[in-house]
């Protein structure tokens, strides 16, 4: 699914076949989850293939590495150039791109002194699908920000995401909702949450979540089209009383919820203000100019 015999990856400055590439089994990243990664998307636009917010993603990759002491020696310029070359070599237009910075062998619990970079890309549909989500409240909470650099995209953090997502699927849901260490609404295993109430949007404030790039884009869109958006501590009671809810992330894009623990929300997603945001997001990633932004016409 992710690669075949022909697939090319970018590894430490070279374009090589994925099938021929090796990773050291003594890597500190493999043993301890000590690596940082990104998830970006490219879109086929009228002006050619464009990676959405490429600079912001590579800035975050650097920040994630710095947060946990993984050496990072690349410029955005060289990685962006490599990303477009990678897409071209693999004949990809609408793609998901996975940069990963990983570390050499080191069984001690100390910072790495060198690191490697991988860029891989593959075709990937909307990560959570196109249908409204049936979400289940997880028994898992997001990691304690006093124990982890929660704003960083570190591989090891995703064991928490895997457990929550699998638990939700085992219980018949499409996806999980995790609370934070204090029991407030936090985020999904791989997406941020917004809810809509009386035409306004609300989202958990930074501190206990990965403040995603899509989340920031949603806030930008709201500012642009005049929708009030508030970052706050969100209780489960507030969320349950919402008119509608959506998840957002690079892989998932914007996807509405049908229900939480089987209870449906008041307003059908397609009649909501959130639906307009979903349309505006599509327009933005596809670089479709909408003259009257408040109208938000076609995708």
Pick the closer one to ligand PMP by CB: 106 or 175. Answer: 175
**In the complex, what is the shortest distance from the CB of residue 113 to ligand PMP, in angstroms, rounded to a whole number?**
27
250 binds ligand PMP, rule: CB under 6 A: yes
**In the complex, what is the shortest distance from the CB of residue 139 to ligand PMP, in angstroms, rounded to a whole number?**
17
**In the complex, what is the shortest distance from the CB of residue 108 to ligand PMP, in angstroms, rounded to a whole number?**
28
**In the complex, what is the shortest distance from the CB of residue 136 to ligand PMP, in angstroms, rounded to a whole number?**
17
143 binds ligand PMP, rule: CB under 6 A: no
Interacting positions 29-58 with ligand PMP (CB under 6 A): 39
Q: CA-CA distance, 7 to 120, in Å (whole number)? A: 9
**In the complex, what is the shortest distance from the CB of residue 19 to ligand PMP, in angstroms, rounded to a whole number?**
27
CB-based closest residue to ligand PMP: 212
Q: From residue 204 to residue 243, what is the string marking binding to ligand PMP with x (rule CB under 6 A)?
A: ------x-xxxx----------------------------
Three-state SS for the chain is CCCCCCCEEEECCEEEEHHHCCCCCCEHHHHHCCCEECCEEEEEECCEEEECCHHHHHHHHHHHHHHHCCCCCCCHHHHHHHHHHHHHHCCCCCEEEEEEEECCECCCCCCCCCCEEEEEEECCCCCCCCCCEEEEEEEEECCCCCCCCCCCCEHHHHHHHHHHHHHHHHCCCCEEEEECCCCCEEECCCCEEEEEECCEEEEECCCCCCCCHHHHHHHHHHHHHCCCEEEECCCHHHHHCCCEEEEEECCCEEEEEEEECCEECCCCHHHCHHHHHHHHHHHHHCCCCCCCCCCCCCC
Interacting positions 148-187 with ligand PMP (CB under 6 A): 153, 187
Pick the closer one to ligand PMP by CB: 136 or 190. Answer: 190
Instruction: Verify whether residue 17 is a known catalytic residue.
Output: no
Three-state SS for 4-16 is CCCCEEEECCEEE
Q: From residue 186 to residue 205, what is the string marking binding to ligand PMP with x (rule CB under 6 A)?
A: -x--xxx-------------
Which residue among 249, 253, 265, 281 contacts ligand PMP (CB under 6 A)?
249
Pick the closer one to ligand PMP by CB: 7 or 192. Answer: 192
Q: Which of 50, 53, 134, 153 is catalytic?
A: 153
| Residue ranges that bind ligand PMP, judged by CB under 6 A | 39, 153, 187, 190-192, 210, 212-215, 249-250
Give the active site residues. Answer: 153
């Amino acid at each position: 699914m992710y690669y075949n015999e022909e697939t090319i990856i970018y590894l430490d400055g070279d374009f090589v076949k994925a099938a021929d590439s090796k990773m050291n089994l003594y890597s500190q990243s493999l043993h301890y989850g000590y690596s940082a990664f990104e998830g970006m998307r490219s879109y086929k636009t009228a002006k050619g293939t464009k990676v959405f917010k490429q600079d912001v993603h590579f800035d975050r990759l650097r920040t994630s590495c710095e947060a946990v002491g993984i050496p990072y020696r690349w410029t955005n310029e060289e990685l962006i150039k490599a990303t477009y070359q990678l897409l071209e070599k693999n004949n990809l237009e609408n793609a998901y791109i996975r940069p990963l910075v990983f570390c050499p062998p080191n069984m001690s619990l100390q910072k790495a002194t060198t690191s490697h970079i991988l860029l891989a890309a593959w075709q990937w549909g909307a990560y959570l699908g196109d249908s409204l989500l049936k979400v289940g409240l997880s028994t898992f909470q997001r990691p304690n920000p006093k124990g982890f650099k929660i704003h960083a995209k570190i591989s090891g953090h995703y064991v928490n995401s895997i457990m929550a997502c699998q638990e939700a699927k085992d219980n018949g849901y499409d996806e999980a909702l995790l609370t934070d260490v204090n029991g407030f609404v936090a985020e999904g295993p791989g997406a941020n949450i917004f809810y809509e109430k009386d035409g306004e949007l609300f989202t958990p404030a930074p501190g206990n979540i990965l403040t995603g790039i899509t989340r920031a884009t949603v806030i930008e869109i709201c500012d642009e089209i005049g929708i009030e958006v508030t970052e706050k501590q969100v209780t489960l009671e507030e969320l349950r009383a919402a008119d509608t809810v959506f998840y957002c992330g690079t892989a998932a894009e914007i996807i509405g919820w049908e229900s939480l623990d089987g209870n449906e929300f008041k307003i059908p997603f397609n009649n909501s203000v959130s639906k307009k945001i979903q349309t505006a997001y599509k327009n933005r990633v596809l670089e479709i100019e909408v003259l009257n932004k408040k109208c938000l016409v076609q995708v």
